[in-house]
Structures are given as structure tokens and as C-alpha cells.
Amino acid sequence: MGRLAELAGDEDTGDRCRTFVFQDEGHTLGNALRSIVSRYPEVLFCGYTVPHPAETKMHFRIQVSNGRAIDVLRKGLEDLEKVCDHTSKTFEAAWESYKSEHVA
């Protein structure tokens, strides 16, 4: 993953609403992360944009009812990593099973 920047929020929302800018990322991370984060009960809004196809950055916005947006982002990234790990392990197990049955 590339670098991450955090844009300042406004005085009304404080740490509850933030936009994070991921360098060298796009729709692949944005959509997967949005899918996970938007399911958390404290999340009021979650979305991402890729401002321009020629730029390799993705803006990810989170607004929560309580807590800090950065903590929700961290939890989302950790949960996404767990999903990816599970997917890889499941695929590898299925592949090994297929090879043992079909490859001499």
C-alpha cells in the first residue's frame, strides 16, 4: 500500500469525520474497504472517489456517530486484511485438493 494522508476535518465534526488520501491506490482498495467499513454500526457515511484517472490516489471519507474516524479506518483495514487472508487460505486449500485429485 502507498502513503496515507489525512485531511483536516471541520470544527463541528472534530475527529468523527475525515477524508483520507491513499497514494498509489484506486478502486480495488476503495470498493473493498468501503464494503467493510459501511457495515459498522457507528458509521453514518462511508465513500470513496478516485478524483481523476491520471492521478494514482483515492480519497476515502468516513463519518461516524461516535469515536474517531481514524480508528474506524484502522479497524476496516485490519478486517480487510483478515478477509484477504481467509480468501487466500481457502483458495490454496481448494487448489491443493484439486491438484491431488486431478494431477498425476
Domain of 8: which CATH number?
Answer: 3.30.1360.10
Q: How many CB atoms lie within 10 A of CB 72?
A: 20
pLDDT, one tens digit per residue, over 21-60 is: 999 999 999 999 999 999 999 999 999 999 988 888 999 9
Domain count, the chain: 1
Predicted confidence band at 8 (pLDDT cuts at 50, 70, 90)?
A: low
SS3 3: coil
* Of 54, 58, 65, 57, residue with least CA distance to 13: 65
Q: Which residue has the cell 485531511?
A: 7
pLDDT, one tens digit per residue, over 67-88 is: 999 999 999 999 999 999 999 9
The residue count for the chain: 104
pLDDT given for residue 5 in this prediction = 80
pTM over 0.75: yes
Give me the domain span that covers residue 54: 4-102
Alpha-carbon distances of 80 from 41, 61, 87, 98, rounded to whole Å: 17, 17, 11, 27
pLDDT given for residue 9 in this prediction = 63
- Determine the number of helices (DSSP H) and then strands (DSSP E) in the chain: 2, 4
